[in-house]
Chains A and B, each alone.
Chain A
């Protein structure tokens, strides 16, 4: 069966159709064309002409014109709409008009930059012009670096390399910085939260250096569809940015299918596992040779699903070749091999985390299964765009998990297909991030008296830095005064730059098989944890916490492990609060200590708990921002136990309701409750940013207070269960007492809503 026959088969099957909550057929769309503007160099025109491009899509023309007029822009278009032309053409044209012009291209990952520039290379070769494009990243050989610094017209890199390899050595890049005309930032919506806050500061440093060399580049950004692309682009670049969103690219027909796994226990609201349902769908597709990508939410699920899907081939080695996993933590060579296999068609099924969501070239797949809502609408569209990039019918299935957010989306398709409500949020003034980048900036060029680095309090921070003996104020300047190379101490990707490496000691010769960040290590790599890599199970034998090494050995067991995190939270400072009514809301700064105390062994397939063990690892402490709501000390008709159960339900529901507004992963925020909080002396629920210093979520939640609890109420009420379930207020076995947890939670929510 081909894909269309399979879709007909599904439509005819009541068994499947009863689980489908929405089936939208996006019709094919005609292209909207505009002629090339006259100013474009004839050689570019001719080269494009030879490749069959005779006119521009409307958005491409708008972008090229806006850049020509000297505007910074952000182009918002779907996957496969020819967005690279929006920057390749104006940049090449400017270089052909003035040979001295330089441009810097930033891509979020190395893999992506390799891919996107191959298109640029083709265009340059086709045009027969001498424009030198080089990739400058950690893989660039030392011997080639000097030539790139001096001769490269277009330097392609990533934010990390810009941060630690280019800006601190700007005196070696004088040619680039004196003539920098364009900075291209692709996938700008990707830079949210911590990464985005870091990038905004890296660009503050970049602009400072450009200013020193007398250049003033404009920014060409590309974004997926979000509510505030221009705002986000302007927050990140610090420049005024013009929005280009008149998409003129054609699209082929596409089916978007929402699939809700059937309830298996109505009273408890338990649905069949989304993983197993996704597996079923994927199996049908892969068996019929429909090239399929399955996205899952976690690395763990990638591995579990790969293991299941390989069974299609009855344990033959064909399964190992045809079905592959793909995720962060795999080493680069393995990733390249898998990407190639997908393009060439030797791989029929791939299970991936969002690592394959961005535009890495894996060719045109026919079907996409998204196992669990990826957390944002933008991601969902990008993931579904992996099927049918070029032409022909394609299908994307969204399989909901029983989490409240998934259930909300799957039952409210309008929210998905309507105008995007999602905001990309960053906090460039996060004190931890800002302070670290000011160190780098001071290293790069002395600060002048009165100079502003993004914030009004720049000079106050500089004085602090001077007291810390990092800089020295002499005359009217602040000079770096340390033999430390500050950029080395910061990772743009995470709150900590100290990754743990994972070493397989099954064979006499140990092999490094992956890595993990510091804050995840206690959860994933505690001793006795089952770590799954490429579908193979390993047990952690020893975790050397000080040296950041985990030693693992191959095992074959029928369970996986899941660690429990205990959290303690203290309020340090209150930024805003509203205490007029009996229910108070606040936002401020908190200190959170987290400790992994124990782990559970969960049986594969049935997911039952079959044992547990203790974990003894150091406590990790973090200062961050939080939003919290506190209730009156005594609530009518509710006992202490009732309040505790209500707070627990409330925490579970909020953890899923908040991300709707924040465009973040549920893991980017955390919710804890205290029945009698040390700080407020009242029953309190806290939602905090799970990054040191916070990235702007808490403040937004303080403002969205009312809407947040409306949505929470809807989620609880909409759920089909009777007394509560993991899809709304949480698993029943977490609650104590005899009262209905769902009702208790709703009572608290209503109390809060009455006091908004």
Chain B
């Protein structure tokens, strides 16, 4: 028995008739997607380029809007690395890869980059028509990266840039761009929209925040197999969809940045005044911009959405308690109580604590605790630890009240 049949035996159904190595197709990439071939000492690869005027609107923003973005905004979004970055030098980047789990054997077959040049925003996409074009693509990217010296991505810290670094190493390029300033929009986006949206994937943000609805978009999980199929039959009709998908990703990152930057400039007017504004508070908080955070939270505490109000009050009063402005905290708790919420208890507990420990006004504390106990019972929380703790607190206040009365009598 020869090796081949033995292998066949172990790996059932593996052997298929082999196709010609580089079949010709009527629908190869150069027929379907206009572009050009770029050559260098490593070989060549295919490039698709599209120019957009600065006035082009995507995701309800003009692409040129971000050119006025201040450096402080980039720092708030991307951290201190991004200090001194000029918006006109930003390099937006997104890759499409042969696998989603990473590792040395996964490569990027399509790398889309976006940058400003003169009066345009240019989206350039490097596509390798086969594995042997990778080195040429990486060489082009190396120069481009060196020119820009930064990245703007969506989840690029965990994925795209890591993967490209791995590819550079595997191809013996000594390029080191791991410490370039890198604005990964995923992290600020999670802070801002994590409370509002179920998913913070780029596609979800695009639809729910930017108001773009993609039609006929290709699901990410299918992309590797689309490429493998293209390698075999050279029919680029599905690859076309991947290219389109990638281009839109590179566009929507600009629009997302514009959106975030507008919101950072004037959080009160540029957000929904609800969860988004609360999210802005989280973003400011993460950057240590306390004043801005308090402004957002104060605004949220007046929100008509009760959930927003409660979350804002919890966070705000936590800060006020720490920095000694407990009276301001008290105002907020009272405001919550004024809405007479059926389930919320925290403000009652906080108020009871305040009257018991701060003012030592047990008379005022007692009815508040009793109300909380009653609420607990109404909510069917009998026997819960929360209820037990409330009862303990009530009994203690009653005792204190009695001994206060006694000492008053004794005087």
Contact = CB atoms under 8 A, between A and B. Distances in A.
Contacts of A486: 105
Contact of A474 (B104, B131, B166): B131
B170 to A, nearest CB: 6
Contact of A485 (B16, B99, B132): B99
A559 interface: no
B15 A464 contact: yes
Contact of B131 (A444, A446, A466, A572): A446
A444 B104 CA distance: 5
A608 interface: no
Contacts of B267: none
A14 interface: no
Nearest to B131: A479
B21 interface: yes
B104 A572 contact: no
B14 A477 contact: no
B1 A572 contact: yes
A747 interface: no
Given A443-B104, A474-B132, A480-B105, A461 B169 contact: no
Nearest to B134: A479
Contact of B11 (A435, A457, A479, A484): A435
Nearest to A460: B3
Interface in B81-134: 98-106, 130-132
A546 to B, nearest CB: 19
Given A431-B6, A435-B7, A477-B132, A467 B104 contact: no
B305 interface: no
A81 B131 CA distance: 53
Contact of A483 (B7, B16, B166, B225): B225
Nearest to B105: A443
A172 interface: yes
Interface in A291-322: none
Given A445-B170, A474-B131, A464 B4 contact: yes
Contacts of A21: none
Given A443-B104, A469-B228, A481-B231, A464 B170 contact: no
Interface string B16-30: 101001000000000
Contacts of A474: 130-132
B204 interface: no
B228 A435 contact: no
Nearest to B166: A171
B165 interface: yes
B104 A623 contact: no
Contacts of B232: 469
A145 interface: no
A468 interface: yes
Interface in A420-444: 431-432, 435, 442-444
Given A171-B165, A474-B130, A464 B7 contact: yes
A461 B170 CA distance: 23
B229 to A, nearest CB: 10
B45 to A, nearest CB: 13
Given A474-B132, A693-B10, A169 B99 contact: no
A619 interface: no
B104 A445 contact: yes
B379 interface: no
B9 interface: yes
B107 to A, nearest CB: 8
Contacts of A4: none
Contacts of A477: 131-132
B40 to A, nearest CB: 16
A174 interface: yes
A168 interface: yes
Contact of B104 (A169, A457, A475): A169
Interface residues of A, number: 41
Nearest to B102: A169
A211 interface: no
Contacts of A755: none
Given A431-B7, A443-B104, A472 B14 contact: no
A174 B10 contact: no
B281 interface: no
Given A468-B15, A572-B9, A169 B103 contact: yes
B371 to A, nearest CB: 37
B228 A464 contact: no
B118 to A, nearest CB: 37
A473 B19 CA distance: 12
B104 A168 contact: yes
Contact of A431 (B10, B104, B166): B10
A445 B170 CA distance: 7
B182 to A, nearest CB: 16
A446 B131 CA distance: 10
Contacts of A482: 98-99, 228
Contacts of A464: 3-4, 7-8, 14-15
A593 to B, nearest CB: 14
Contacts of B11: 435, 468
Given A174-B169, A464-B15, A483-B100, A475 B7 contact: no
Contacts of B101: 483, 485
Contacts of A485: 99, 101, 103, 105
Contacts of B10: 431-432, 435, 623, 692-693
B104 A171 contact: yes
Given A172-B166, A443-B104, A444-B104, A481 B3 contact: no
Contacts of B103: 168-169, 443, 485
A481 B228 contact: yes
B207 to A, nearest CB: 26
A573 to B, nearest CB: 4
Given A168-B105, A169-B104, A483-B98, A461 B131 contact: no
Interface string A135-160: 00000000000000000000000000
Nearest to B165: A171
A65 B169 CA distance: 36
Contact of A444 (B7, B16, B105, B165): B105
A642 interface: no
Contacts of A432: 10
B273 interface: no
Contacts of B4: 460, 464
Given A435-B7, A468-B15, 4 more contacts: A169-B104, A171-B165, A468-B16, A485-B101
Interface of A: 168-172, 174, 431-432, 435, 442-446, 457, 460-461, 464, 466-469, 472-475, 477, 479-486, 572-573, 589, 623, 692-693
7 contacts: A171-B104, A431-B3, A446-B131, A466-B18, A467-B15, A477-B131, A693-B10
Sort A-B residue pairs by CB-CB distance and give the 10 closest, nearest first.
A443-B105, A468-B14, A171-B166, A483-B224, A573-B1, A483-B99, A480-B105, A479-B131, A475-B132, A171-B169
